[in-house]
Amino acid sequence: MKASLEAIKAAALAVTPGPWEAYGTIVRDIDGGEDQLAEGRDATHARYIAAVDPEIVLELVARLERAERERDSFKRALLDAPQIPEGTVCKGAMLLGSGCGRCRRCREEMGAVA
Ligand SMILES: [Zn+2]
C-alpha cells in the first residue's frame, strides 16, 4: 500500500469531523448547519465525498490496523507451530478455512514461507 495510514489519519483529524451529507452537489456537516465542506462535480460525486467522511476514514484505518495486527499475530503463531514433515500437505485450503495451518502449502497460503 502506497498510502501512509498515519498521513491518512492526520488528514482525517484535520478536517471537520463527520458525519457529512450530500445536499445536491454540496457536501456539508450534518451537525454543523449549512456550512459547505466540499462540492462534488455532480450529486454522485458529492454523495461519494460525503460517504467517506473523516469518521468513516478513521474507522476504516482502525479496522485495517487491527486486521494487520491479527495477521501478524497469526503469522507468528504459525511460524512457532510444530511443522509436519516436509512434502506432506493436507487436503484443506486456508482460504476456505479447512487448511491445517501446519503443512508447507498452508503456510505458503498464509505468507509464512518465503
Ligand atoms: Zn495444511
pLDDT digits 0-9 by tens, 16-36? 998 999 999 999 999 867 789
Q: Is the pLDDT of residue 92 over 70?
A: yes
With beta carbons less than 8 A apart as the criterion, state whether 22 and 49 touch: yes
Tell whether 55 and 30 lie within a shared domain: yes
Rounded mean pLDDT, 73-102:
81
Written as one letter, the residue type at 61 is V
Tell whether 11 and 33 lie within a shared domain: yes
Distances (CA, A) of 67 to 24, 71, 81, 93, 112: 36, 6, 21, 20, 16
Q: Looking at mean pLDDT, say which of 30-44, 62-76, 88-102 comes out highest.
A: 62-76
**Which residue range forms the structural domain that includes residue 35?**
2-71
Tell whether 57 and 108 lie within a shared domain: no
Centre of ligand 1 to C-alpha 99, Å, is: 5
Kindly state whether residue 76 falls inside one of the protein's structural domains.
Answer: no
Q: Is the pLDDT of residue 108 over 70?
A: yes
Centre of ligand 1 to C-alpha 26, Å, is: 53
Grid coordinates in use for 3? Answer: 498510502
Q: Is the pLDDT of residue 59 over 90?
A: yes
Centre of ligand 1 to C-alpha 6, Å, is: 36
Tell whether 61 and 86 lie within a shared domain: no
Q: The whole model's pTM is what?
A: 0.67
The SS3 of residue 34 is: coil
Kindly state whether residue 102 falls inside one of the protein's structural domains.
Answer: yes
Q: How many helices (H) and strands (E) does the chain have?
A: 4, 3
